[in-house]
Amino acid sequence: MSLRSKWRALARWKRLLLGALALGLFAFAVIASGVIPFFASADHPEPFATILDFAKHRSIATWSTGISEPETLEDDEALVTLGAGHFEQGCRFCHGTPWDRPSWTHDSFSPPPPPLEPIAEEYDAKELYLIVDHGVVFTAMPAWPARDRDDEPWAVVAFLRALPELDREGYEALIDRGDELETPPVVRERCVQCHGVDGLGRSGAAPVLAGQREPVLTAALRAYAEGERHSGFMQMPAAALSDDELEDAASYYAGLEGLGATEAPETGEGARIAAEGIAERAIPACADCHGPASHEHAEVHPILAGQDRRYLRQQLRLFAEGTRGGSEHAGRMDPVASHELRLDERAAVAAYYAALGGR
């Protein structure tokens, strides 16, 4: 009996199995031979490029299922501004903008970093979040640096959703450069895009730094730089600072007018919790460390009066979840974190302290 006759005599499932096995062995032989170039100086050859691209799209679609998108994502101007600041610092170098493409990347990367306006329209918000949060394997797209901060990538997503509608003027309006002001170079280069030249946080895009105690700012920057406090926005910029730059930035913002009590609302749940705490749940009074109170407060305790309310709510949530990290003094918040404030209580305390500064 000939080989062909023997092949035809086999059951159909056996022929399929042997065919699949032969195909797998062939693919393994090609890969094991090393003939496929996996170099950044060469494009991925076909059909591997198509297979990888298809696998990427299917993976993103599958793993983004179940992600909850914030309801006000595309209408949140503060979130868009914060995302723009991070893009300017961490993303523009590779991806560029519609009016300023970094041509060098196309000769150095395979695949090259794509323009992001079409990407922002190709994927929905949940898929963009997955990409920003986890990065993309076999590319230079990194995962979000602070793995505990699943809230932060939404700011970049908000900016990406706005990007297709932005022209150069609109983009520049989102970026506070402070080029013409007499500020320390580190402030112009590292800080103003998010915190503003005035240190007031650009209308809630970032926390208010102006008027904060210098030891608090110094300790926070060191904690970010050492990975003890978690933020994808802050860890990489802070890690790049020299000791002199760190001190210059802290000194500059501490010397501005900003935080501090200018009004004194004395009624409401937030005022009561700040002044008295919640004894039955072992939650201490906020004012004991943060004021307002008649006694002096240690320089290591941050001023909260006038801080942005959304930022304060966020910090209370992070303490409760155990994902904030911080300097050596952050452990003093453990009594609050382990005896968690309810959502409405966090909102009340945040509103109270924001109102103290008239913000």
- Rounded distance between C-alpha atoms, residue 110 and residue 44, angstroms: 7
Residue percentage of the chain with pLDDT more than 70: 93
At residue 295, does pLDDT exceed 80?
no
Q: What's the pLDDT tens digit per position in 55-78?
A: 899 999 999 999 999 888 878 999
Please give the pLDDT value at position 358: 62
Looking at the DSSP bridge assignments, the partners of residue 97 are 100
Coil, strand, or helix at residue 283? strand
Please give the pLDDT value at position 264: 67
Region 269-356: CATH code: 1.10.760.10
Please give the pLDDT value at position 266: 73
Task: Spell out the domain ranges in the chain.
Answer: 3-35, 62-173, 176-254, 269-356
What is this structure's pTM? 0.86
Q: What's the pLDDT tens digit per position in 229-268?
A: 999 999 989 999 999 999 999 999 999 999 988 776 677 9
Q: What's the pLDDT tens digit per position in 108-147?
A: 777 888 899 999 999 999 999 999 999 998 888 999 999 9
Can you spell out the DSSP letters for 66-106?
TPPPPTTGGG-HHHHHHHHHHIIIIIHHHH-BTTB--GGGG
Residue 196, C-beta contacts closer than 8 angstroms, at least 6 positions apart = 176, 202, 206
Residue 268, Ramachandran bin (φ over 0: left; ψ between -120 and 50: alpha; else beta): left
Angle between helix 153-162 and helix 77-86 axes, rounded to 10 deg: 100
Looking at the DSSP bridge assignments, the partners of residue 278 are 283
Q: How confident is the model at residue 163 (pLDDT cuts 50, 70, 90)?
A: very high
Please give the pLDDT value at position 302: 95
On the 0-12 / 13-18 / 19+ scale of CB atoms within 10 A, 154 is buried
Q: Evaluate the omega torsion of the peptide bond into residue 153 and state whether it is cis, within 30 degrees of 0.
A: no
| Out of 35-39, 80-84, 114-118, 135-139, least confident range | 35-39
Domain 269-356 in the same topology as domain 176-254 = yes
CATH class of this structure's domain 62-173: mainly alpha
Considering the segment(s) 176-254 as one domain, its CATH architecture is Orthogonal Bundle (1.10)
Q: How confident is the model at residue 19 (pLDDT cuts 50, 70, 90)?
A: confident
